[in-house]
């Protein structure tokens, strides 16, 4: 079973700080790494995604850093805001479009 390990389980950050969530995957070929954001009572929504041929992707305050050799990728949220408080999931898709495997999730709380 392909696995994606996510840490930390929960994270508390002050407003304006940097939130960092990490994911690691095992010895399997993945070709697409999305992050999803979920607010209470809602389904997850695609936030940002990266392919392994680039080391970083930035969209506004959200950045994915990708380290192919270490099989790790992380989400950085700059200038974190209370509205960013949500659960974040990393995921990875196997090559040839096989199923998407999700991490365990990180509950982020940004204090005002």
Partner 1 sequence: DAGITQSPRHKVTETGTPVTLRCHQTENHRYMYWYRQDPGHGLRLIHYSYGVKDTDKGEVSDGYSVSRSKTEDFLLTLESATSSQTSVYFCAISEVQSYGYTFGSGTRLTVV
Residues that bind partner 1 (CB under 8 A): 1, 6, 9, 32, 34, 36, 41-46, 89, 93-94, 97-100, 102-105
Q: Which residues make Cβ contacts (< 8 Å) with residue 41, sequence separation at least 6? A: none
Query: In angstroms, what is the minimal distance from the CB of 65 to partner 1?
Result: 21
Kindly state the DSSP code that residue 15 receives in the 8-state scheme: T
Least Cβ distance, residue 101 to partner 1 (angstroms): 8
Judged by beta carbon, residue 17 or residue 22, the one nearer partner 1 is 22
Q: Which is nearer to partner 1, 68 or 99 (CB)?
A: 99
Q: Nearest approach, Cβ of 16 to partner 1 (angstroms)?
A: 28
Asked if 48 and 64 count as a contact pair (C-beta separation under 8 A), the reply is yes
Rounded to whole angstroms, the Cα distance separating 33 from 69 reads: 15
Tokens of 12: 């508390």
């Amino acid at each position: 079973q392909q696995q994606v390990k996510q840490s930390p389980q929960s994270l508390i950050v002050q407003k304006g700080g940097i939130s960092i969530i990490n994911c690691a995957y095992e010895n399997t070929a993945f070709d697409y790494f999305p992050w999803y954001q979920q607010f209470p009572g809602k389904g997850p929504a695609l936030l940002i995604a990266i392919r392994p041929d680039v080391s970083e992707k930035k969209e506004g305050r959200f950045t994915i850093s990708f380290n192919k050799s270490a099989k790790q990728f992380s989400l950085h949220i700059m200038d974190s805001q209370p509205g960013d408080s949500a659960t974040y999931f990393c995921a990875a898709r196997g090559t040839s479009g096989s199923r998407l495997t999700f991490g365990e999730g990180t509950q982020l709380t940004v204090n005002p």
